[in-house]
Structure 1
C-alpha cells in the first residue's frame, strides 16, 4: 500500500494523512486518530491498521508494513460481509465477493 492510498475506506483517509497527523499532532492514544478526518469511526476495519501506525510512530518507525491496496480492500469486504461493521454513506463500496 502506498502512502496516497486510503487506509480508512469509509472516510477516504489516506495513509499519508494519518502519518502527517501522527507527526504533527503526536496523539497520546491510538483512539485520538479519529480526529484525523474521522479515521476508524466507520465500519471499524481500519482500526487495527491505525493502531499499527500509532505504535510504529511511538517506536520511532516511519513506515508500517501493510497489505497491497487490493488485498486490503478485499479483506475489508469480507469483514463487512461477515457482519464486522457497516460503512457509512459515501464510503468506498464493498467489493462483490463470490459466495
Structure 2
C-alpha cells in the first residue's frame, strides 16, 4: 500500500495523512485516529488497519488487494484471517440497518 492510497475508503483518508496525524498529534489510543478525517467511523472495515498503524506495524497489502478485501467484507461481513475487528465484530452498515432496535447506530471504536 502506497502512502497516498486511502486506508479509510469511506472518507478517503490516506495512509500518509494517518501517519502524519500519528507523528504530530501523538494520540494516546487507537480510537483517536478517528479524529483524522473520520477514519474508522464509516463501515468499520479499516479499524484493524488503524490499530496496526497505531501500533507502528506496517500493513503489507497492495491497494487493489485492500480494496478487494473490503468489498468482500461489505458483502459478507467477514474479515480475512488474522484481521479480527477491533470493534467487537461490528457488522457492515447494510447489515446494521436490518437489526431491530439499533437505530442504524454503530458502537464507538473499541480500545484494547
TM-score range, shorter chain: 0.7 to 0.9
Of 62, 79, 82 in structure 2, the residue corresponding to residue 68 of structure 1 is 62
Tell me the SS of whatever aligns to 1:11: coil
Any stretches of 5+ residues in structure 1 without a counterpart?
A: 57-62, 88-99
Corresponding residue of 2:5: 5
Deviation sequence 1:27-86 (CA, Å, 0-9, x none): 000000000000000000000000000001xxxxxx613210000000000000014413
Consecutive aligned runs of 4 or more in structure 1 exceeding 4 Å deviation: none
Distance of 1:70 and 1:30 partners within structure 2 = 25
Tell me the SS of whatever aligns to 1:7: strand
TM-score (normalizing by structure 1):
0.77
Distance of 1:28 and 1:22 partners within structure 2 = 10
